[in-house]
């Protein structure tokens, strides 16, 4: 056996020292890392494209809102014109009409109105009201088309450049309509609009990202409005003598120009020569949409565009999402308030009906609601329709979380949920009920519990099955208590048996060892016979050690009770296993204060408990190693020592068996299964306790695995301490 192990180790060393293995491992490492970086890069590109798409969609919404507002403002101007037209038909006095014109002009000031007046059929101005002290018109151009007739609409005249008070360029437009009266007197109602001011009022508040803004162009690519007033009146796409083009289009984005100048709606990206301060090529995202208004004839196109630098998109999208989140919160709050009001209304409506409920019904409802046992109603589709407070206490799920759901989330993953639910439903349907059905279930926080289920069919007045009711009881503590009693009885019986067997085996073992020693004196050391006798003695000693372990388990050897110095005992054991831990690639961390009080027990047996638990932890972390943590602390008159590992963990299915004698998960020849049983017996003998907590990959995929054993021993009293020191 030893030669085979040496050969395996030698082969492993050759493979580890192999140059080809190192090269292969290095190449594999770089391939894995490169693949990971490539996936991260591709994922970043996908996220960036998605963010740009979502952000452009938000910009398109802003552009639509601005275009709609411009159209609405032009419609308001037309409404004012129609009001003055109807007033003129009723032949008001001159003063009345003048006052009406002034008031209408004031109302249209925010729409970009500069002047509002009345001209005769010869286009000579008879009445004019100019805002902000501007010049008044003397006559109207002959080329100005005025809508006359019942079906005509207000039309904007051609745009004309103008110079604003601050020296910047702007555009104005004349618009007019005919005024007819019953006595055939007629005139022309006209107005001058500063369309650049109208666009500025609508778009100046638009912000996309941190510094994004909106602008307006016509079908020739001329800026009708731009936050940078130097660009108003210039072509966005062509080169002129004064400036570089505002928009640089690549071949891949040339279609954007055709869409914008053609009065279409769309989104895309481009490079710009400037952006409110910074000069130089800047990549931007753009969304554009045409302005739709009956005041524009079919040949004229105005488009609103919203644009923002791409390097601000992330923050802009974050703000948009924040606004969406706020809107959703407001909507949810509104729904909650609405539901609360509806609930109050429903309470008021049903108050009269509630007064008629009998005392028996109230008692039944109270029992179902407040019972500590779970009371559940299940429909024919095996879905929960009623979930009382007792069920909430047992499983942790609220009524809102379970009503309308099946029981699949309550069944552990190692159990076939469909099969078990089908079996219960079939038995309830066949016999009308099921009683005291014990099952394993999962709570909301992941705990496994044992429940007792009693389920009964519910029938309607016409004897139709409506569903079934289930009464659930949590019997986890009862089952665990029964198991502990069973284990205690089993340990007692096995201990008695082990003690008897151990004593019976000790006698022949003593004879074997004695005669072996005598026989060795007859042969020369190194001879084959001498080696054979040594082998017999070695195996007899191993058997003797097993017998001693069985005697310890049966509590035949009580040890020499004294006080135990916990830090010193742990330090002794750590020194013994230190080299083994290092060989197994296991890191050890010890947190054991020196001033811990003494505890009851035998030092040798206490060290044996710690040693066995460390050995189990080492075995659980093979072959890759791990971290072993030992900590000690005083709590409520006891000194608790925890031994935690990062091994494979203990599955739930065997947790109730680990303290059973001869139970082991190790391979044949690697363990007797008495280690934890001996630990349990030693700790209980001195009034202590040993518990554990474990997470395994089998029960909790994806979580960190490991096991923590806690050994708690009572602190010695003053008298016990004095006796121990004397001993």
In a domain, 342, yes or no: no
* In 144-214, alpha helices (H): 195-203
Q: What pLDDT is attached to residue 147? A: 66
CA distance readout (Å), 346 to 339, 342, 349, 362, 398: 10, 6, 5, 19, 23
User: How does residue 279 score in pLDDT terms, banded at 50, 70 and 90?
Assistant: low
Instruction: State yes or no: pLDDT of 224 exceeds 80.
Output: yes
Q: What pLDDT is attached to residue 27? A: 66
Verify that 566 and 710 share a domain, yes or no: yes
Q: Taking phi first (over 0 means left), then psi (-120 to 50 degrees means alpha), and beta for anything else, what does residue 105 get?
A: alpha
In a domain, 210, yes or no: yes
CA separation for the pair 226, 169 (Å, rounded): 10
How much of the chain is in helix, strand and coil states, percent to nearest 5?
Answer: 50, 25, 30
Nearby residues of 544 by Cβ (< 8 Å), 6 or more positions away: 506, 509, 513
Q: What pLDDT is attached to residue 633? A: 92
Verify that 212 and 81 share a domain, yes or no: no
In a domain, 490, yes or no: yes
Q: What pLDDT is attached to residue 484? A: 65
In a domain, 692, yes or no: yes
Instruction: State yes or no: pLDDT of 602 exceeds 60.
Output: yes
The 10s digit of each residue's pLDDT in 240-256 is: 444 556 665 555 567 77
Among 144, 165, 199, the domain-final residue is: 199
Instruction: State yes or no: pLDDT of 342 exceeds 90.
Output: no
CA distance readout (Å), 141 to 125, 416, 607: 11, 89, 112
* CATH code at position 671: 3.30.565.10
How buried is residue 589: exposed, middle or buried, by Cβ count under 10 Å (0-12/13-18/19+)?
A: exposed
User: What average pLDDT is seen over the chain?
Assistant: 76
Instruction: State yes or no: pLDDT of 522 exceeds 80.
Output: yes
The range of the structural domain enclosing residue 624 comes to 562-726
Q: What pLDDT is attached to residue 467? A: 85
User: How does residue 707 score in pLDDT terms, banded at 50, 70 and 90?
Assistant: very high
Average pLDDT over residues 356-376: 68
Verify that 532 and 590 share a domain, yes or no: no
In a domain, 362, yes or no: no
Considering the chain, what percentage of its residues have pLDDT values greater than 70? 71
Instruction: State yes or no: pLDDT of 232 exceeds 80.
Output: yes
Tokens of 207: 């912000």
In a domain, 51, yes or no: no
Q: What pLDDT is attached to residue 632? A: 93
Among 283, 318, 353, the domain-final residue is: 318
Q: What pLDDT is attached to residue 444? A: 85
User: Which of 94-108, 440-454, 491-505, 595-609 comes out lowest in average pLDDT?
Assistant: 491-505
Verify that 99 and 125 share a domain, yes or no: yes
The 10s digit of each residue's pLDDT in 109-146 is: 888 888 888 888 777 888 888 876 556 777 777 767 77
Considering the chain, what percentage of its residues have pLDDT values greater than 90? 4
The 10s digit of each residue's pLDDT in 2-32 is: 566 556 566 555 555 555 555 666 666 567 6
Among 457, 474, 491, the domain-final residue is: 474
Asked if residue 451 lies in contact with residue 438, where contact means CB atoms within 8 angstroms, the answer is: yes
Instruction: State yes or no: pLDDT of 696 exceeds 60.
Output: yes
Look at the chain and report how many structural domains it folds into.
5
Nearby residues of 465 by Cβ (< 8 Å), 6 or more positions away: 380, 457, 458, 459
How buried is residue 578: exposed, middle or buried, by Cβ count under 10 Å (0-12/13-18/19+)?
A: exposed
User: How does residue 239 score in pLDDT terms, banded at 50, 70 and 90?
Assistant: very low
Cβ atoms within 10 Å, residue 57: 12
Q: What pLDDT is attached to residue 558? A: 46
CA separation for the pair 48, 42 (Å, rounded): 10
Cite the beta strand spans of 138-265 per DSSP E.
155-163, 169-180, 186-194, 213-218, 223-225, 247-248
Verify that 146 and 248 share a domain, yes or no: no
**Better-predicted residue by pLDDT, 653 or 597:** 597
Verify that 490 and 456 share a domain, yes or no: no
Verify that 183 and 290 share a domain, yes or no: no
Average pLDDT over residues 449-463: 85
Instruction: State yes or no: pLDDT of 613 exceeds 60.
Output: yes
For the entire predicted model, the pTM comes to 0.40
Q: Of the spans 13-17, 45-49, 133-137, 529-533, which averages the highest pLDDT?
A: 529-533
Q: What pLDDT is attached to residue 648? A: 86
User: Which of 218-232, 457-471, 670-684 comes out lowest in average pLDDT?
Assistant: 670-684
In a domain, 438, yes or no: yes
**Better-predicted residue by pLDDT, 69 or 230:** 69
Half-sphere exposure at residue 457, Cβ-oriented, CA atoms within 13 angstroms: 17
Residue with tokens 């630098």: 309
**Better-predicted residue by pLDDT, 50 or 633:** 633
Q: For every residue of 432-472, which 3-state class applies, written as one string?
A: CEEEEEEEEEECCCCCEEEEEEEEEEEECCCCCEEEEEEEE
Average pLDDT over residues 365-373: 69
The 10s digit of each residue's pLDDT in 185-207 is: 567 888 888 888 888 888 888 88
In a domain, 89, yes or no: yes
**Better-predicted residue by pLDDT, 446 or 708:** 708
Tokens of 162: 């103008």
CA separation for the pair 391, 441 (Å, rounded): 12
Terminal-to-terminal C-alpha distance of the chain:
46
Q: What pLDDT is attached to residue 711? A: 93
User: Which of 41-45, 590-594, 655-659, 680-684 comes out lowest in average pLDDT?
Assistant: 41-45
Verify that 400 and 506 share a domain, yes or no: no
Average pLDDT over residues 419-444: 85
CA separation for the pair 605, 602 (Å, rounded): 5
**Better-predicted residue by pLDDT, 103 or 328:** 103
The 10s digit of each residue's pLDDT in 615-633 is: 888 888 887 888 999 999 9
CA distance readout (Å), 306 to 203, 272, 276, 291: 9, 13, 14, 13
Nearby residues of 313 by Cβ (< 8 Å), 6 or more positions away: 51, 52, 55, 209, 285
**Better-predicted residue by pLDDT, 349 or 387:** 387
Asked if residue 236 lies in contact with residue 286, where contact means CB atoms within 8 angstroms, the answer is: no
Verify that 571 and 714 share a domain, yes or no: yes
Average pLDDT over residues 458-479: 83
Angle at 657 between CA 654 and CA 661, to 5 degrees: 140
Cβ atoms within 10 Å, residue 117: 22
User: Which of 331-345, 381-395, 597-611 comes out lowest in average pLDDT?
Assistant: 331-345
Q: What pLDDT is attached to residue 639? A: 92
Q: What pLDDT is attached to residue 182? A: 46
User: How does residue 332 score in pLDDT terms, banded at 50, 70 and 90?
Assistant: low
Verify that 287 and 179 share a domain, yes or no: no
Average pLDDT over residues 670-698: 80
CA distance readout (Å), 238 to 234, 252, 302: 9, 18, 18
CA separation for the pair 296, 294 (Å, rounded): 5
Backbone angles phi, psi at 253, to 5 degrees: -115, 15
Verify that 608 and 683 share a domain, yes or no: yes
* CATH code at position 372: 3.30.450.20
Backbone angles phi, psi at 223, to 5 degrees: -70, 115
Average pLDDT over residues 394-404: 87
Instruction: State yes or no: pLDDT of 557 exceeds 50.
Output: no
Q: What pLDDT is attached to residue 417? A: 80
* CATH code at position 526: 1.10.287
Verify that 247 and 157 share a domain, yes or no: no
Q: What pLDDT is attached to residue 643? A: 93
Instruction: State yes or no: pLDDT of 503 exceeds 80.
Output: no
């Amino acid at each position: 056996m030893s030669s085979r192990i040496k050969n395996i180790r030698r082969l492993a060393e050759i493979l580890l020292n192999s140059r080809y293995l190192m090269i292969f491992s290095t190449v594999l490492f770089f391939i894995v890392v490169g693949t990971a970086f490539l996936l991260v890069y591709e994922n970043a590109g996908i996220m960036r494209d998605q963010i740009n798409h979502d952000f452009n969609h938000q910009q398109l919404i802003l552009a639509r809102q601005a275009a709609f507002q411009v159209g609405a403002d032009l419609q308001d101007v037309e409404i004012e014109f129609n009001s003055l037209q109807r007033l003129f038909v009723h032949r008001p006095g001159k003063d009345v009409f003048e006052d009406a014109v002034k008031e209408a002009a004031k109302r249209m000031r925010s729409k970009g109105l500069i002047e509002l007046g009345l001209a005769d059929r010869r286009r000579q101005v008879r009445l004019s009201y100019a805002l902000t002290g501007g010049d008044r018109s003397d006559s109207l151009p002959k080329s100005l088309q005025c809508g006359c007739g019942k079906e005509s609409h207000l039309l904007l005249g051609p745009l004309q450049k103008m110079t604003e008070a601050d020296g910047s360029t702007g555009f104005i437009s004349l618009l007019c309509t005919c005024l007819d009266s019953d006595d055939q007197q007629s005139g022309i109602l006209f107005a001058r609009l500063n369309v650049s001011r109208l666009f500025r009022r609508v778009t100046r508040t638009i912000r996309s990202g941190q510094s994004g803004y909106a602008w307006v162009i016509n079908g020739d690519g001329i800026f009708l409005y731009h936050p940078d007033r130097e660009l108003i009146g210039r072509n966005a796409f062509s080169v002129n003598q004064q400036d570089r083009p505002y928009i640089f289009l690549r071949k891949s984005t040339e279609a954007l120009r055709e869409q914008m100048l053609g009065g279409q709606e769309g989104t895309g990206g481009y490079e710009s020569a400037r952006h409110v301060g910074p000069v130089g090529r800047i990549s931007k995202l753009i969304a554009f949409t045409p302005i739709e208004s009956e005041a524009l004839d079919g040949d004229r196109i105005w488009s609103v565009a919203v644009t923002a630098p791409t390097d601000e998109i992330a923050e802009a999208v974050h703000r948009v999402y924040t606004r969406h989140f706020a809107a959703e919160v407001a909507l949810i709050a509104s729904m909650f308030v609405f539901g609360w009001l509806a609930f109050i209304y429903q309470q008021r409506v049903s108050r009269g009906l509630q007064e008629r409920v009998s005392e028996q019904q109230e008692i039944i409802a109270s029992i179902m609601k407040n019972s500590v046992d779970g009371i559940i109603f299940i429909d024919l589709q095996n879905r929960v329709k009623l979930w009382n407070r007792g069920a909430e206490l047992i499983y942790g799920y609220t009524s809102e979380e379970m009503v309308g759901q099946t029981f699949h989330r309550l069944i552990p993953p190692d159990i076939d949920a469909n099969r078990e639910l089908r079996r219960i439903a079939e038995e309830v349907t066949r016999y009308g009920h099921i009683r005291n059905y014990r099952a394993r279930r999962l709570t909301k926080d992941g705990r496994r519990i044992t429940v007792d289920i009693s389920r009964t069919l519910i029938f309607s007045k016409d004897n139709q099955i409506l569903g079934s009711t289930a009464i659930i009881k949590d019997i986890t503590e009862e089952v665990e208590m029964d198991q502990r009693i069973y284990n205690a009885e089993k340990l007692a019986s096995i201990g008695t048996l082990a003690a008897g067997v151990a004593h019976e085996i000790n006698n022949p073992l003593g004879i074997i060892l004695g005669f072996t020693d005598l026989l060795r004196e007859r042969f020369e050391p190194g001879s084959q016979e001498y080696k054979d006798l040594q082998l017999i003695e070695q195996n007899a000693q191993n058997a003797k050690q097993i017998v001693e372990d069985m005697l310890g388990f049966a509590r035949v050897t009580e040890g020499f009770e004294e006080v135990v110095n916990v830090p010193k005992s742990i330090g002794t054991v750590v020194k013994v296993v230190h080299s083994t831990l290092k060989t197994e690639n296991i890191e050890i961390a010890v947190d054991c204060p020196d001033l811990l009080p003494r505890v009851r027990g035998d030092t040798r047996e206490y060290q044996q408990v710690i040693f066995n638990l460390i050995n189990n932890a080492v075995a659980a972390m093979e072959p890759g190693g791990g971290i072993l943590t030992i900590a000690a602390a005083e709590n409520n008159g006891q000194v608790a020592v925890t031994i935690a590992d990062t091994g494979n963990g203990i599955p739930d299915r065997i947790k109730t068996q680990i303290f059973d004698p001869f139970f082991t998960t190790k391979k044949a020849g690697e363990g007797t299964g008495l280690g934890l049983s001996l630990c349990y017996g030693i700790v209980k003998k001195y009034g202590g306790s040993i518990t554990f907590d474990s997470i395994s990959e089998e029960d909790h995929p994806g979580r960190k695995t490991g096991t923590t054993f806690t050994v708690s021993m009572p602190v010695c009293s003053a008298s016990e301490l004095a006796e121990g020191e004397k001993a």
